[in-house]
Structure 1
Amino acid sequence: MSLLPLVFTSGWASGINAYAVVLLMGLFGRYDGVTAVPPALERTDVLIVAGVLFLIEAVADKIPYVDSLWDLVHTVIRPIAGAVVAALLAGHAHDSLTTLAAAAIGGGTALVSHLIKAGVRMGVNTSPEPFSNIAVSLTEDLGVAGLVTLALFHPVPAAIIAGCLLVGGVALVLFTLSRIRRFWQRRKERRAARALRTAQAA
């Protein structure tokens, strides 16, 4: 019964920061003896690669517009990572059919949370100062760390929180999209005004 909540939460977290999910789970499994973690995530090479990529993302994710480019590149990577992690979690103790179902849930959830994150970041990038990006990125990192940790020890409460964040994220993206439209509309109006002033001056 704890597999589905763990898969769902890991999928949500993978859509936000897949490298953090792999790194955290691997460290918990290797050094804290958490049995729910698949042995594949505890390997030294996996932990090193995940750690390096996590550090790169930690920087790129806090720079305006670079974060959106990074999100674009990871539109494929994060859902795949969510599916792989979910499959490993299921394959660790269950049959192949359960593994396929878990992969679909993990990958699908990761895709939705990734699209939410990308949409929110596009809205944040309309802000003229860089501090919003840093604050949002740190909040995401802490949220992933907190929920992954909670999911490994208390899967059901973690899944409930992840579900609420997913629903809230959809509402936030709808608000963000309207903000983006207003941003581009104001920019278009300013360009038109400058063109008109130039034409009048001539």
Structure 2
Amino acid sequence: MSVLPLVFTSGWASGINAYAVVLLLGVFGATGLSDEVPESLQRPEILVTVGVLFLCEAVADKIPYVDSVWDSVHTVVRPAAGAWVGAMLAGQSGSVSDLTAAVLGGSTALASHAVKAGTRMAVNTSPEPFSNIVMSIAEDLGVAGIITLAIFHPWAAATVAGALLFTGLTVVGFLLSRIRRFLRRRAQRREERRTAAVVGRPPDSMPWADRD
């Protein structure tokens, strides 16, 4: 059942860039490099549409804060694309139910989308725009590489995708804990300033003032 690792990998990649996944799979199918890709993903109108959308994402993904807005819009699109691609691949293979593949592809896409969106929120705190450009290029190359690997070596690609997903979720969890800690400290400092204004004393003179 080599379709399952392909579904898992395409789901992970869809959470990063769904349009690139559909475009790459369609091209691999249309050129005869893979028999796993259904004809519905190879249709010219599908390839043209996702190609245009991929170009739009390639631009939006490299602009600070615009990328986060784009990610928020695609919170539904990417998991839905992962589920759709998974169901299509399962239907072509016939070795696993469409529903199982859709759930696997959609849930994996949702998880990797959460990693991407969370990472981009952290990157956007950087004052320069180059971090976004580097991240976007790395993500696009990663999607292209892992989908190509999945076509020829599906289990190896699934292993890499699983490792990347686990690592990403761990990093995002760490970043979110740091962000929550920062927000708590900022709220505490605001409360100290309000208290100091009420009693007419400077914040630094308050015995409970944060002196970090």
Return closer, same or farther for 1:179/1:114 CA change in 2, 3 Å cut-off.
Answer: same
Q: What's the counterpart of residue 129 of structure 1?
A: 128
Distance 1:184 1:61, change over 3 A: farther
Amino acid at match of 1:33: L
Tell me, yes or no, if the aligned pair for 2:11 and 2:109 is still in contact at 8 Å: yes
User: Conserved in 2, the CA contact under 8 Å of 1:13 and 1:21?
Assistant: yes
Q: String of CA shifts for 1:162-199, please: whole Å, max 9, x gaps.
A: 00001000111022224434665687799899999xx9
In structure 2, give the amino acid aligned to 1:145: A
Query: Any idea what the Cα deviations from partners look like across 1:55-98, whole Å, max 9, x if unmatched?
Result: 00001011111000000000000000000000000001217x61
Structure in which a larger fraction of residues adopt helix: 1
Match of 1:48 in 2: 48
Which residue identity lines up with residue 161 of structure 1 in the other structure? V
Distance in 2 of aligned mates of 1:185 and 1:88: 46
Contact conserved, 1:26 with 1:47, CA < 8 A, in 2?
yes
Q: 2:6, 2:154 within 8 Å by CA — same for their partners in 1? A: yes
Per-residue CA shift, 1:23-79, capped at 9, x if unaligned? 001011112431111111110000000000000000101111100000000000000
The runs of 5 or more residues in structure 1 that have no matched partner are none
Once residues 182 and 27 of structure 2 are traced to their aligned partners in structure 1, the CA distance between those partners, rounded to angstroms, is 42
- Whether the 8 Å CA contact 2:8–2:105 is kept in 1: the answer is yes
In structure 1, C-alpha distance between the alignment counterparts of 2:137 and 2:186, rounded to whole Å: 29
Aligned letter for 1:152? I
Q: CA deviation at 1:143?
A: 0.6
Structure 2 counterpart of 1:170, one-letter code: L
Confirm whether residue 80 of structure 1 aligns to residue 63 of structure 2.
no
Note closer, same or farther for the CA distance 1:187–1:69 as it changes in structure 2 (3 Å cut). farther
Query: Could you say what secondary structure the match of 2:64 adopts?
Result: coil
Q: What is aligned with 2:112?
A: 113
The letter for the 2-side match of 1:164 is A
Tell me, yes or no, if the aligned pair for 1:8 and 1:159 is still in contact at 8 Å: yes
TM-score (norm 1): 0.89
Matches within 5 A, 1:1-202: 1-94=1-94, 98-181=97-180
CA distance in 2, matches of 1:192, 1:6: 52
Give the 3-state SS of the residue equivalent to 1:37 in structure 2.
coil
Structure 1 outlier segments of 4+, above 6 Å: 185-196
Q: How many residues align?
A: 198
Q: Please say if residues 126 and 180 of structure 1, whose CA atoms lie closer than 8 Å, have aligned partners that are also in contact.
A: no
Task: Give distance in 1, aligned partners of 2:173 and 2:93.
Answer: 39
CA RMSD of aligned residues (A): 2.3
CA distance in 1, matches of 2:39, 2:192: 62
Secondary structure in 2 matching 1:9: helix
Query: Normalising by the residue count of structure 2, what TM-score does the alignment of the two structures yield?
Result: 0.85
> Does the Cα contact within 8 Å between 2:3 and 2:93 map onto a contact in 1?
no
- Structure 2, unpaired ranges of 5+: 202-212
